A and B are shown apart, each in its own frame.
Chain A
Amino acid sequence: MPIIGGRGIAAALIAAAPLLAQTVPVKEHTLSNGMRLLLVERHDKPTVATAWIVRAGSANERPGMTGVAHLFEHMMFKGSKTIGTTNIQRDLAINAEQDKIQAEIRKEESILRQKELNGEIADMRDAKARSPRHQQLVEQMEKLVKEQQELLVKDEFSKIYTQAGGTGLNAFTYQDATCYHQTVPANRLELWAWMESDRLYQPVFREFYKERDVVGEERRMRTDSTPTGKFEETFEAMVWMAHPYHWPVIGWPSDVSSLTREQANEFFATYYAPNNLTAVLVGDFKSSEAIALCERYFGRIPANPKGVPEIITLEPKQLAEKRMMAEAETTPSAQIVYKAVSAGHKDAPALDVLSSVLNGRSGRLQKSLVEGQKVATRVRASMQGMKYGGTFVFHGTASADQKPEAVEQAIYREIEKIQKEGITEQELQKAKNQAQADSFRRLEDNMGLTIQLAIADATTGYQAFLDEPQKTEAVTREDVQRVAKDYLVKETRSVAIYTRKGGAAPTDPELAALPAEAQGMVKAQLGRLEQVKDPAQLKAIVGQLEGQAGQVPAEAKPVIDYMIKKVRERIAKLEAK
């Protein structure tokens, strides 16, 4: 059995752990057109985890066309000139006709947009607001969609992989990049090269306008219909003032529903060039053969000699704390976001150690806020380094009898403690021990490693991923104290305070346990009693109720008992004053 990067020592119970941490035997190669390859051979099972990443995400968009990177990701599964249709000529002709009709529809929409702005209609997307011509165009469009569907080999791209035993075919888009991945049987690596190079070489973005609707549903599912989705989106937009991280990856609703195929074409031509891509393979293959295969298949795609447009905007220094007060259907909580550093910044490892010291069951936040002060039920900190900036985030859920602002203040006190006194040697060593063990854990799953290498290469270069354990090992207590002082400062933070919509916690369980028909009556009676301010009068009412309790049928007794209890609570309150 071949052992790659082997640590197998059969005689000992446990192979001795190397002093520092993991080593990953990554083979790096650049194709003639500038596309990068990262290869890790592992021969213990006949599969290959594959991914390729393009350095284009939502940060490469601009206002008016936000969401195009993500919609584009969906379009990459729609096939090519070869895959996905029985009649490519007619298919392309229909696409062109659809685009013409869409251009006409956009003229109608632009009238509706103005009407919405003028307050004449509530929603420009409401089908009832369409003019007769607009409606006619929509129907023509629908006819062309149906005609194209007749020619489609429906989802052929997915079908070919599925039949070949490919698993986990998917992709994801984030601010900095977009990544396409799946695992294939080891004898299907050439199929992977064929399919991936084909969709990069001659893609056809058919079914574009239906896919826009799919993204609309994705948005309703992920953002609109979840308790905090829309608030998180709002908050993120508040944190980032100028940088494109300001807008959501899925795009603003107005933009997504107006995206055009022309915009997708332009995005593809600009960013999806081989010199802007890295492919990663981890699994059962021979590197020399994989390189030859990739040269043959991906090598046919011409480079973009202009290169890709740089992201110029740097987030200006934040001058003042920002706050968002949100009422949502959720447990009261506080979120604090400090502007910190990008993933490749020299201070990122120290900030990582800082988050490690704060987190975990034995971390400062749990010990102090949850177990000690009991102000919160759950608190987490994390360092989120991206390509063009980063944040250091705290999230704390308030205990039932506490306000989220109290959690917020308690977090500040923990920060100040570290700023003043630093961390202990034991805490530093614990964080390093955890980083070392995690540096092995993250290598166990082939697809996990593939995606981490892809993301690292798109963000900082993959070498940074390999060097991470050494950099963590070099962090000192002074470093941690310094970064806490430098970055966790009032002026650069944004705070979101969540309180439960409708105010109070859900219904009193004892009330809800009463017969349903009695609940309304009980509430009304207790409401009236709120007006009574004299304890003596209330005591008389208790007396009456107690008298009744002996006479009513058994099923009504809990109702009376509940009333008595509540009146007594009120008496106690009045007397306490």
Chain B
Amino acid sequence: MPGDVGLRAANAVEVADLRVRYRTPDGWFTAVSDFSLTVSSGQRVAIVGESGSGKSSVCMALAGLLPLGAAVEATTARIIETDLTARPTRAIPYQVPGVSVVFQNAMNALDPVWTVGSQLGTAIRGRGATSRARARVLAGEWLERVGIRDPARVLRARPYELSGGMRQRVMIAIALCSQPELLIADEPTSALDVTLSVDLLELITSLTADLGTTLLMITHDIGLCRAYSDRVVVMHRGRVVEQGDTEQVLAAPSADYTAALLACAPSLGQLNDHRLTTMVGVS
């Protein structure tokens, strides 16, 4: 409901000097340091980086879902209304109010033993007072909203009885049905084929735009950033190397790393190139 947007806090995410460390048998391992990010409500921000860049740690830290062995420190860490630094850590974490997450592989994220109807229903009812019957109706509507043609069948099905694309759509429905203020998408399509990826990102971006939900997307794919984000944050080895307006950063990167990352991906426009540009010392 676009009318609500005005009532929301101006910034969905306000993080300064975030550091994420993990306890390992050899002492503390620092996955992210000096991470600062401000996202105003309704923006679409992409965090891009390769494996080991710390982008997933950032996303799990902001969603409040890191395990007990992780330490999160920051001078400021406000997500919607919640101050992350004031939250006690727990073995089984609590949701940061207003924050939903979409994971990479719905096969792992959906609960294998419950039907789609039950999982979607409990998410719709949330902690609110929606009746079961009403939740059932809304669940069917949400499935239609994410482009599932036979909601009645899918509601009765369990995740493993659906195709990969359907599962991903179901996950998106569950994440968005509570109308969150912030959606964190952790590599939402990287397990999928390109045509499906594009369809699903179209779906995510159009739904979040309808709901006025802020989108924070984590990806390794510069193509996805280009098409589906307003701002981009480039991470490398636990630090932010560059951030700014997506079009500007990709057109004229200021950091060498960003430039190298842009240059080394093969593209259909350079079929006859003899060799790909490679990054020296990054492998």
A and B: bona fide binding partners = no
- B contacts, CB < 8 Å to A: none
